[in-house]
Structure 1
Amino acid sequence: MNMSGESLVVILLVGIVAGWLAGQIVRGAGFGLIGDLLIGIVGAFIGSWLLPKLGIHLGAGIVRAIINATIGAIILLLVLRLVRGGGFRRY
């Protein structure tokens, strides 16, 4: 797989945006810039794998990538919160 510099920048930007959005939606789960980036990138893989399996297809382009990554990052943050013992809290 040959990845251009532009592709890497897009992946990093989508990861940062998705990680930050997920951190805002799942309050108290922010991990800083690097942590949010990693959560966003892993969330992108989760979202792009899980949503089509569920028959959910959202838009196209960069907006779709951000939405998929954000949904995947939210799922990841909720699972991390459960594993860490924080449970679900209502705010």
Structure 2
Amino acid sequence: MLFIIWIIVGGILGWLASMVMKTDAEQGMILNIVVGIIGAFLGGWLLSPLFGTGTINADDFSITSLLVSFLGAVILLAIVNLLRRGKVR
């Protein structure tokens, strides 16, 4: 059951990050889920020590962990945009 919640929350976070980065028209539901989950890993690696919290991947569903996971997804989309287009939108 936790895996399904993980996918749903990852999809929502990936969708919100794609809205912020204006890549929503280019992404589908599966890519939003992937961005949300990989972004949570990236946020856990880069931002968790700064905020002192876990991410959704560490079964921590607090507000700060959702924020760290969301910021990780935004960072991931910025890196992808930078590599694909040579600029961040």
Is this a same-fold pair by TM over 0.5? yes
Contact 1:58/1:64 (8 A) holds in 2: yes
RMSD: 2.0
Q: Does 1:45 align with 2:26?
A: no
Greater share of residues in helix: 2
Question: TM-score, with normalisation over the residues of structure 2?
Answer: 0.78
Unaligned runs of 5+ in 1: 1-5
Structure 1 residue 52: deviation in Å?
A: 2.5
Distance 1:66 1:32 in 2: 21
* Greater gyration radius: 1
TM-score normalized by structure 1? 0.77
> In 2, distance between residues paired with 1:70 and 1:17?
9
**Percent identity over paired residues:** 33
Residues 44 and 72, structure 1, Cα contact 8 Å, conserved in 2: yes
Q: How many residues align?
A: 82
Amino acid at match of 1:40: G
